[in-house]
């Protein structure tokens, strides 16, 4: 099993699958952070908010990285179906379950690295953009650090979520489209139309963890239970489909 994990770890760093999603995520999060800092400068000047609230907004913008962590997870398995190497991976790993487990371990570790990157850049932008964009020193409160922690946790959990979607869908474009559709379109729309039910969706539950602050959201402990439930259900379905269908 150790060799299978080592092989998957090497594959995780090959090609563009790890750095392209991270690059897009950094670019989008940085632009959002800059927007919050610039808008915050005007709002603070007009007395509509304070530096602490703007610091929280600038830091929280890095929650966007969770989408790209999930895309990494999906592509890490779907690209093997696209290139036809999935059958060879199964043969070399010794069994489908060994490959399934190794990919889950490696993808979760990569999600944690995405989380460290997002949390680190969130803190850096909180310092840099508050001074240069908002024209105020950042104000670090307990709430700010809880947001940073939430960003790390959500990124770590998003990668295996994407992995399971990749196992289920198999097709690279369809897996990416599914994740982006749920995260950017369907879940936000349901949250607007039916907030009391939408708070149990995967990405909306994550909003509680990175402390989005909307009153209809779940408490953090309950949100983590909901996320665990979605991950468990997706894992069971992905495992069932992977072990029962042809791999090519």
Each residue's pLDDT tens digit, 220-239: 999 999 999 999 999 999 99
What is the predicted pLDDT for the residue at 90? Answer: 84
Are 51 and 44 in contact, with CB atoms under 8 Å apart?
A: yes
pLDDT-derived band at 100 (thresholds 50, 70, 90) equals very high
Average pLDDT score, the chain: 89
Please list, residue by residue across 51-74, b when 16 or more beta carbons sit within 10 angstroms of its beta carbon and e when fewer do: bebbbbbbbbbbbbbbbbbbbbbb
Q: Is the pTM of this model over 0.85?
A: yes
What is the predicted pLDDT for the residue at 108? Answer: 96
- Mean per-residue pLDDT for 122-144? 85
Percent of the chain predicted with pLDDT > 90: 53
Q: How far apart are CA 140 and CA 90, in angstroms?
A: 48
- Does residue 42 or residue 220 have the better pLDDT? 220
Least confident of 34-38, 44-48, 94-98, 240-244: 44-48
What is the predicted pLDDT for the residue at 105? Answer: 95
Say yes or no to pLDDT of 81 above 80.
yes
């Amino acid at each position: 099993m150790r060799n299978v994990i080592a092989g998957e770890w090497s594959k995780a760093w090959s090609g563009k699958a790890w750095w392209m999603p991270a690059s897009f995520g950094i670019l989008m999060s940085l632009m959002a952070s800059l927007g919050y800092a610039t808008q915050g400068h005007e709002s603070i000047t007009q007395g509509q908010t304070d530096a602490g609230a703007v610091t929280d907004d600038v830091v929280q913008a890095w929650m966007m990285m969770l989408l790209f962590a999930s895309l990494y997870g999906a592509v890490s398995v779907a690209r093997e179906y696209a290139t036809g190497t999935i059958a060879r991976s199964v043969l070399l790993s010794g069994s489908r379950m060994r490959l399934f487990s190794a990919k889950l371990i490696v993808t979760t570790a990569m999600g944690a690295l995405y989380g460290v990157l997002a949390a680190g850049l969130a803190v850096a932008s909180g310092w840099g953009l508050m001074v240069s964009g908002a024209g105020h020193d950042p104000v670090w409160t307990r709430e700010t650090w809880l947001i940073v922690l939430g960003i790390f946790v959500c990124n770590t959990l998003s990668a295996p979520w994407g992995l399971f979607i990749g196992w289920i869908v198999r097709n690279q474009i369809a897996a990416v489209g599914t994740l982006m559709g749920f995260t950017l379109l369907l879940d936000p729309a349901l949250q607007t139309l039916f907030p009391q039910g939408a708070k149990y969706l995967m990405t909306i539950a994550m909003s509680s963890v990175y402390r989005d602050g909307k009153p209809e959201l779940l408490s953090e402990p309950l949100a983590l239970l909901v996320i665990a439930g979605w991950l468990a259900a997706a894992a069971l379905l992905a495992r069932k489909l992977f072990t029962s269908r042809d791999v090519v």
